[in-house]
Amino acid sequence: MDKRTFLKNFSLLSMATLPGVNALSNIVEEYEHIPPAELAADEDFWETIRKGYRIHPDYINLENGYYCMMPEETMSQYLQHVKDVNYQASRYMRTVMDQNQQEIRNRLATMAGCSPEELILTRNTTESLDLVIGG
């Protein structure tokens, strides 16, 4: 699966799981007909991407390996989810969390073209690598 197809499918997944989130989908639709090499040089495209982030004006962050900032729209949805989980507390963890995780796993598996049993969701890269190293 190429990056463009992944982003398009991911944006559709986002729209299905997070009502009101459609900026990525709109960007993909607007630029999907442009060849990647041409798009890479399109300053309007990059300005559109940049507008999604709240970036400190005094410096340019070129190191995404240590910390990669989230787009504002993603952060807003993330914070709302954390607030919802905090509001429901242990009831969410005991009654809804597993169902939500399975639903997301099923959608991601469909997008990746595999079965849900072949897909593992982890919290971060370190946890993923630890699973691989541990066999």
- Establish if 76 belongs to a structural domain: no
Those residues with Cβ within 8 angstroms of residue 108's Cβ, 6 or more apart along the chain or in another chain = 13, 119, 121
Instruction: Kindly state whether residues 97 and 49 are assigned to the same domain.
Output: no
Task: Compute the mean pLDDT over every residue in the chain, rounded to the nearest whole number.
Answer: 83
For the cut 60, the answer to whether the pLDDT of residue 10 exceeds it is no
- Establish if 26 belongs to a structural domain: yes
CA distance linking residue 94 with residue 87, whole number of Å: 14
Instruction: Kindly state whether residues 1 and 43 are assigned to the same domain.
Output: yes
**Phi, psi values for residue 62, rounded to 5°:** -105, 5
pLDDT of the residue at 49: 86
Instruction: Kindly state whether residues 65 and 108 are assigned to the same domain.
Output: no
**For residue range 82-111, what is the model confidence (pLDDT) as tens digits?**
999 999 999 999 999 999 999 999 998 988
The boundaries of the domain holding residue 4 are 1-69
Inter-residue contact 87 to 96 (CB < 8 Å): no
- Establish if 4 belongs to a structural domain: yes
Q: Give the residue-averaged pLDDT of 5-22.
A: 51
Instruction: Kindly state whether residues 47 and 95 are assigned to the same domain.
Output: no
pLDDT of the residue at 15: 44
Number of domains in the chain: 2
CA–CA distances in Å: residue 129 to residues 65, 82, 108, 122: 15, 26, 20, 10
pLDDT of the residue at 28: 75
Instruction: Kindly state whether residues 64 and 97 are assigned to the same domain.
Output: no
**For residue range 16-28, what is the model confidence (pLDDT) as tens digits?**
444 334 677 778 7
* pTM to 2 decimal places: 0.62
- Establish if 25 belongs to a structural domain: yes
